[in-house]
Amino acid sequence: AQLLMSRDVNWTYARDTLGRTVLNTGVIALRLRSAKVTAMLRNLSECLTLIPGCDQWRHKWGHEQTAFSEYYRDAFIPDVELISVPCNEGLGYSGEAIFGCTGRYIAHVTTAKQTLSERYKQRLLDITMLMLEHKLFLSHVSYPATNDIHILDSLRRL
């Protein structure tokens, strides 16, 4: 694939003129050195002057992501050149559960940005604790299970 993008939230304002959910341009994973991707990014950045009608997205909701869906999305073969992941995997964070977009793999915060620092501190702490727990589990000393009372007695004396 040349592009990986998240589908936007499932709301009517996040649809293109064909009724498709737009792909969110907040986070784009792309293949470097792809002439097609490079050309698309250049053209998207110049869309306002290159394509008649594109200038409507200057002030209208959806902006560059709607312009991408309207004018450039179809240039990429779906599921081959352009992979779109559900918003739950590549958009949002746990606080946006109302949209069903929890940012499972990629957290792209679109609202409540003032809480970003605290949320990421908590996320970092959670990850650190999971790693520590795993390390402690691996280093835990265990004794073989046995019914032999003599072995159990000798282990108790250690």
Residues of the chain with confidence (pLDDT) below 50: none
How would you class 107 by CB atoms within 10 Å of its CB: exposed for 0-12, middle for 13-18, buried for 19 or more?
buried
- In 3-state terms, what secondary structure has residue 150? helix
Sheet with 23-30: strands ordered across = 23-30, 3-7, 82-85
pTM greater than 0.75 (yes/no):
no
**Tokens at 120, concatenated:** 């990421």
Q: For position 6, what pLDDT does the model report? A: 92
Q: For the chain, how big is the Rg over CA atoms in Å? A: 25
Q: For position 138, what pLDDT does the model report? A: 76
Q: Which residues contact 69 (CB under 8 A, 6 or more apart)?
A: 16, 20, 22, 23
Alpha-carbon span 56 to 48, nearest angstrom: 8
Alpha-carbon span 119 to 94, nearest angstrom: 9
Angle at 66 between CA 65 and CA 72, to 5 degrees: 80
